[in-house]
Amino acid sequence: MKLQILICILLGSFLSSCAKSTLVLSDEIHEVSLISILSNPEKYDGKYVMVAGFVRIAFEGNAIYFHREDCVTELTKNALWLNGDFLNTVNAKQLDMKYTMIAGRFNAKNKGHMDLFSGALEDVSIPNGGRRKMP
């Protein structure tokens, strides 16, 4: 009987710790402004982030820019290189030249094609169809 109680207590504490780790994983995505990443790259390096910006999907030019004008005038230092399999899909191409939300792991050392960008979002995805969640 004491063994069964002990097993129940241990199982309960194990399940409780699993629930806490699940919460940590779901909270791992940091929704931040693109300007925060551009001005403090070391703070977000290696973290999974979600940012809004102007997206360009093009050969050797997949990027998310701070503003549309930055993209048009090729101010690549105001942008992050986008890297991931999702970028080769039809859905990603529909986001070309539009403001949208992008999620990915920020890599401050990866400067993209010809080191033109201020970092990279790797393993990118388009959360919520690219639309920002409404509160």
What pLDDT digit, counting tens, does each position of 72-108 carry? 999 999 999 999 887 777 678 888 999 999 999 999 9
Q: What's the mean per-residue pLDDT of the chain?
A: 81
Measure CA 82 to chain center. Answer: 10
9-15 contacts, C-beta under 8 A, 24 or more apart: none
Residue-wise pLDDT tens digits, 48-64:
999 999 999 988 899 99
